[in-house]
Amino acid sequence: MAIITFLFTTVAARAIAIVGMNPVSGMTLMTLILSSVILVRAGLSGPAGMVSALIIGGVVCTALSTAGAFISDLKVGYWLGSTPEKQEKYKFLGIIVASISITGVIILLNKVYGFTGEGRLAAPQANAMAAVIKTLMSKATAPWGLYIAGGFMALILEMLGIAPLAFALGMYLPIELNTPILVGGLVAYFVSTRSKDKEVNKKRKERGTLIASGFIAGGALMGVLSALLALPGWNKVLNTGIAEKPIGEMLSVVLFAGLCVYLYLDSKKGAVDKVV
């Protein structure tokens, strides 16, 4: 775990510093594959081996995320005149607070909705990780051909100028999550191609990315708020029944379209088109 963490955090820090993207998902899955193979060779398999692999994957994944985020923090801190020592102190404090908060949220979501059974919350990444671990920890033959094919597919997509991560996400995310991602991609395309000035398009896309990030954070917070309301049963009291009716579906489409229009118009405020 220490060796993999040391090697992969270096890759994550360099990736986020150069291209601004942290390949956490891919490297976490690679960690699960490597750790599962090593554990099976060492004689540890079954439920105990799965738990061990998950612990290793969880530690490495957290280290990757922290390393990538801290590189960005150091860059911003340098511009603002802060020192790495001060940033490290508050970074550790933030990690402790975030760990406690996230643990509470996961327990809350599991208690209200659950991650298994009917009506469970969708967990695509968790399902992908579970599929990898179960295959490698059992007597079944691992689909190494599919893993190799995925690697070559990523290389081909990279050479074609297509983001392999976005393509891979579209391969295993459910349709209810893929649809807003597709719509968001279309909005981003229209925002970043309306001007003949490349700098204007870049600034507009950056503003749109900032707004979209706010939508993601806001959606997550409202999801937690909904779970808090559902825990004591208040959701049943506040439920008007409109969501199950056709008028509710039509209203949701109108509101979603309004968000898309707002995102497009507000993103264009990122820069004024001076090209006539």
Q: What is the pLDDT of residue 262?
A: 93
Q: What is the pLDDT of residue 170?
A: 78
Q: What is the pLDDT of residue 119?
A: 63
What are the residues whose beta carbons fall under 8 Å from the beta carbon of 34, sequence distance 6 or more? Answer: 4
Residues 174-208 have pLDDT tens digits of 788 888 888 998 999 999 888 888 888 889 999 99
Q: What is the pLDDT of residue 276?
A: 44
Residues 227-244 have pLDDT tens digits of 888 888 777 777 777 877
The pTM is what?
0.70
Q: What is the pLDDT of residue 144?
A: 79
Which positions of the chain have pLDDT values less than 70? 20, 117-119, 140, 273-276
Cα separation, 268 vs 271, in Å, equals 6
Q: What is the pLDDT of residue 16?
A: 77
Cα separation, 36 vs 78, in Å, equals 40
Q: What is the pLDDT of residue 118?
A: 65
Q: What is the pLDDT of residue 117?
A: 65
Cα separation, 165 vs 171, in Å, equals 10
Q: Are 88 and 34 in contact (CB under 8 A)?
A: no
